[in-house]
Amino acid sequence: KELLLRVRGLKKWFPVKSTLGRTINHVKAINSVSFDLYEGETFGLVGESGCGKSTTGRSILRLIEPTEGEILYRGQNLLELKGSELRSVRQEMQMVFQDPHSSLDPKKRIGYAIEEPMIIHRLGTKEERTQKVFELLHKVGFSKEYYYRYPHELSGGQRQRVGLARALALNPKLIVCDEPVSALDVSIQSQVINLLQEIQAELGLSYLFVAHDLSVVRHIADRVGVMYLGQLVEQAPTEQLFSQPLHPYTKSLLSAVPIPNPKIKRERILLQGDVPSPLNPPSGCIFHTRCPFAMERCRTEVPQNKEISIHHYVQCHLYDETHEHH
C-alpha cells in the first residue's frame, strides 16, 4: 500500500494569556504526535475526551494551525504550502463531524448542502453539479426526493449520511471522521459504519477515524493509535493492539471493556487519580502519575517511541532494551 499521509512531531499548544495579554502558559493539546496513513486504510485514533485526538484531526486539515511538526501529504509538507497550492491539496482532504446538525444550515435544502462545497471550489457547471448531487444521494442510500428536504426533516443517522455525501462531493482521498457515530443510537451506528466501509472499498479512501468507543474502532480500523494527554503512547495493527496491548494505559483502557472471547484472560487495571491538566503535564513519562508500573526513571526520562514489532510502536520504559521486559 502507498503512503498517503505522514505526520511527524505534530504539536499544538494553545497560549493562555493573562488579563494584560501576556502569554503565561500553554495548553499542550498535542505534543509530538507521529503516525502514517496508507491509501485505502483506516487509522483509528482513540483516547478519553480531551486527549487531543480531535485536535490532531483538525490540525491535519489545518482547520487549526499546528504549532510545530510535519504533515506530509503524498510527500508534500502541508505546513509549507500556501494559497492555491494548499487549497488544491485540501480539496482531497475532507471531514465528517460528530454532530452533522452543526455542519448543516437549517435553512438550506439537502441538495444544496451537498452541492455547496462544489460551488465554493468552482467545480463543474450547474447541471454537472446537480447530476453529481443525485449520484451522491444515491451513494449514501437516499432516494431522489431527499434533494428537496431540510435538515430538520431528517434523523441523526440520515443527517450523518448527508454529511458524508457533502464530504464526498469534492472527490477526497482522505476523510477525517471525528466521532461520526458517537451521537447516534447503537442500532444506527452500525449502519453508518457499514456505509463508511462500503464507500471506502468502492473509492479507495483513507480514513482517520477519531473515536472514544473502542468497539467501534476495533470494527472499522486497520491500525489503531492510543492517545493520552496529547501523546500517541501506542499504535499497532488493530487485532494486535486488542490481543497484545503493551502500554499500561492501553491495557487499562482495554481492561475496562468486556472481551468477546472468554478464553482470553485479561488483568483488570484500575487507574488512580484523574488525567493531569494539559497546562502542566507530568515530566518524564506523561503517564507516570497514574501508571501502576511506574519506575523511578519514569518521572524524569521521556520514553522514546519504539517499534517493537512491525507497525507496533510503544512509548514506555518497560520496553527499553536495557531493561527487563514485564
Between 54 and 206, whose beta carbon lies closer to Mg ion? Answer: 54
CA distance 117 to 132: 12
Check if the beta carbon of residue 139 is closer than 8 Å to that of residue 161: no
Among 14, 112, 150, 293, binds ligand SF4 (CB under 6 A): 293
Between 93 and 318, whose beta carbon lies closer to ligand SF4? Answer: 318
Among 7, 29, 45, 54, binds Mg ion (CB under 5 A): 54
User: What distances in angstroms separate CA 96 from CA 29, 134, 304, 306, 310, one per listed residue?
Assistant: 21, 19, 33, 32, 30
* Candidates 20-28, 118-126, 185-193, 280-288; binding stretch for ligand SF4 (CB under 6 A): 280-288
Q: Which does 225 bind (CB under 5 to 8 A by kind): Mg ion, ligand SF4, none?
A: none
The DSSP H or E segment spanning 101 is helix 100-103
Q: Which does 317 bind (CB under 5 to 8 A by kind): Mg ion, ligand SF4, none?
A: ligand SF4
The DSSP H or E segment spanning 85 is helix 83-90
Least distance in angstroms from the C-beta of 282 to ligand SF4? 9
User: What distances in angstroms separate CA 28 from CA 70, 228, 229, 273, 320, one per listed residue?
Assistant: 17, 12, 8, 20, 26
CA distance 258 to 266: 10
Q: Which does 72 bind (CB under 5 to 8 A by kind): ligand SF4, Mg ion, none?
A: none
Report the site for Mg ion in 118-147 (rule: CB under 5 A): none
Which amino acid, one-letter code, is at 149? R
Centre a 10 Å sphere on the Cβ of residue 228 and count the other Cβ atoms it contains.
26
Least distance in angstroms from the C-beta of 215 to ligand SF4? 24
269 binds ligand SF4 (CB under 6 A): no
Q: Which does 290 bind (CB under 5 to 8 A by kind): Mg ion, ligand SF4, none?
A: none
* Candidates 7-15, 48-56, 113-121, 151-159; binding stretch for Mg ion (CB under 5 A): 48-56
Centre a 10 Å sphere on the Cβ of residue 19 and count the other Cβ atoms it contains.
6
In the chain the first and final C-alpha atoms are separated, in Å, by: 34
The x, y and z cell numbers of residue 325, run together, are: 521486559
Q: Which does 287 bind (CB under 5 to 8 A by kind): ligand SF4, Mg ion, none?
A: ligand SF4
303 binds ligand SF4 (CB under 6 A): yes
Least distance in angstroms from the C-beta of 64 to Mg ion? 12
User: For ligand SF4, how many residues bind (rule: CB under 6 A)?
Assistant: 14
282 binds ligand SF4 (CB under 6 A): no
Residue 115's φ and ψ, nearest 5 degrees, are -75, -30
Q: How would you classify residue 229: left for phi > 0, otherwise alpha for psi between -120 and 50, otherwise beta?
A: left
Least distance in angstroms from the C-beta of 287 to Mg ion? 20
Check if the beta carbon of residue 32 is closer than 8 Å to that of residue 40: no
318 binds ligand SF4 (CB under 6 A): yes
Q: Which residues bind ligand SF4 (CB under 6 A)?
A: 247-248, 285, 287-288, 291, 293-295, 298, 303, 316-318
Q: Which residues bind Mg ion (CB under 5 A)?
A: 54
